[in-house]
């Protein structure tokens, strides 16, 4: 991006900024969600970006954001957010900046940081009551370095580090519940393919103070092995099959914002992705497919019961 291009960007509305001059993968589900989130948060924000896919948004000294940006190591974003929030609070207290100049402090991480490397720092920040919005784009693996398995990788998915006939032997961590156990201000799951649900939750989170998590499923064409044109459809299938429950936590209660009344079979979602192809070819793995379906059925039986 040239200096002239950067100057011209200042006259664009925020919805046109993300993606300008970036080099992310076509069909990135994380960027799809982030576009929608940033349209609501706007320029009065400072993003603390943990190393990951979205690091590619910034090419020093430029970023596609009209607000501020701080890059940190993968495990350090909540600590960076603490320093920024403390500095802003000091400036406000001393009258060095007006209330209208305050910034929303936003952490932006992938699942490698949110579910694993940065979880300890995040836990500490929540316990301290840090006033920050934590956005995780969850592409269920270390997407920026070759889609190695992470704490977010679903059972049975094939990754670059789980190449066996049954895929990843572990199970996806429940980050939503881990956050809820800390009793934060707000926690919500979203996906870019459900923009109205996402927008309402961001508006809600923006009004609140304290630790807030937005956990966004991020369908990944390169890591999940599907055509980039299918990103939105994959996201919708994740919701319609019940794989990705849309829900939120506030005031001690968990509420589902969208309950699929007629859930589709989970294989409708799995068979669209190359990372699960081994479950169908050269022969169907009925045992593993049923195991995955049963887990989802039990989850929704508890919700609906």
Residues in the chain, overall count:
305
CA dihedral 146, 148, 154, 156 (to 10 degrees): 100
Residues 55 and 108: beta-carbon distance below 8 Å: no
CA angle, corner 289, sides to 288 and 295, nearest 5?
90
**Per-residue confidence (pLDDT) for residue 22, from 0 to 100:** 53
Provide the β-strand partners of residue 254: 249
Best CA proximity match to 213, nearest among 240, 257, 250: 250
CA distance linking residue 92 with residue 228, whole number of Å: 45
> What SS3 string covers 77-100?
HHHHHHHHHHHHHHHHHCCCCCHH
Among candidates 179, 99, 192, which has minimal Cα distance to 137?
A: 192
Tell me which CATH homologous superfamily contains domain 3-304. Answer: Thiamin diphosphate (ThDP)-binding fold, Pyr/PP domains (3.40.50.970)
Q: How do beta strands 246-250 and 186-191 pair?
A: antiparallel
Q: CA 218, 219, 221: angle at the middle one, nearest 5?
A: 135
The DSSP H or E segment spanning 138 is strand 132-138
Q: Where are the domains of the chain?
A: 3-304
**H or E segment to which residue 33 belongs:** helix 29-41
- Tens digits of per-residue pLDDT, 127-177? 999 999 999 999 999 999 999 999 999 999 999 999 888 999 999 999 999
**Per-residue confidence of the chain (305 residues) as pLDDT tens digits?**
344 433 433 444 444 445 444 578 999 999 999 999 999 999 999 999 999 999 988 888 888 888 899 999 999 999 999 999 999 999 999 999 999 999 999 999 999 999 999 999 999 999 999 999 999 999 999 999 999 999 999 999 999 999 888 999 999 999 999 999 999 999 999 999 999 999 999 999 999 999 999 999 999 999 999 999 999 999 999 999 999 999 999 999 999 999 998 999 999 999 999 999 999 999 999 999 999 999 999 999 999 86
């Amino acid at each position: 991006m040239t200096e002239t291009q950067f100057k011209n960007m200042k006259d664009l509305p925020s919805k046109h900024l993300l993606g300008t001059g970036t080099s992310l993968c076509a069909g990135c589900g994380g960027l799809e969600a982030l576009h929608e989130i940033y349209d609501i948060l706007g320029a009065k924000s400072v993003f603390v970006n943990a190393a990951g896919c979205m690091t590619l948004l910034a090419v020093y000294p430029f970023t596609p954001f009209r607000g501020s940006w701080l890059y940190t190591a993968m495990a350090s974003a909540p600590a960076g957010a603490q320093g920024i929030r403390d500095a802003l609070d000091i400036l406000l207290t001393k009258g060095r900046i007006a209330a209208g100049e305050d910034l929303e402090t936003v952490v932006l991480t992938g699942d490698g940081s949110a579910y694993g490397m940065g979880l300890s720092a995040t836990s500490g920040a929540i316990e301290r009551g840090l006033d920050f919005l934590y956005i995780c784009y969850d592409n269920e693996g270390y997407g920026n370095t070759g889609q190695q398995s992470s704490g977010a990788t679903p059972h049975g998915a094939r990754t670059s580090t789980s190449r066996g006939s049954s895929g990843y032997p572990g199970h996806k961590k429940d980050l939503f519940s881990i956050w809820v156990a800390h009793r934060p201000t707000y926690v919500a799951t979203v996906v870019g393919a459900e923009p109205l649900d996402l927008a309402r939750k961001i508006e809600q989170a923006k009004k609140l103070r304290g630790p807030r998590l937005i956990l966004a499923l991020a369908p990944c064409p390169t890591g999940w092995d599907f055509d980039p044109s299918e990103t939105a459809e994959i996201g919708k299938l994740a919701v319609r099959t019940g794989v990705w429950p849309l829900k939120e936590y506030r005031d001690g209660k968990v509420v589902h914002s969208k309950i699929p009344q007629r859930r589709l079979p989970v294989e409708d979602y799995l068979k669209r992705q190359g990372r699960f192809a081994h479950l169908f070819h050269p022969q169907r793995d009925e045992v593993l497919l049923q195991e995955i379906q049963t887990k989802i059925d039990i989850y929704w039986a508890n919700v609906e019961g």
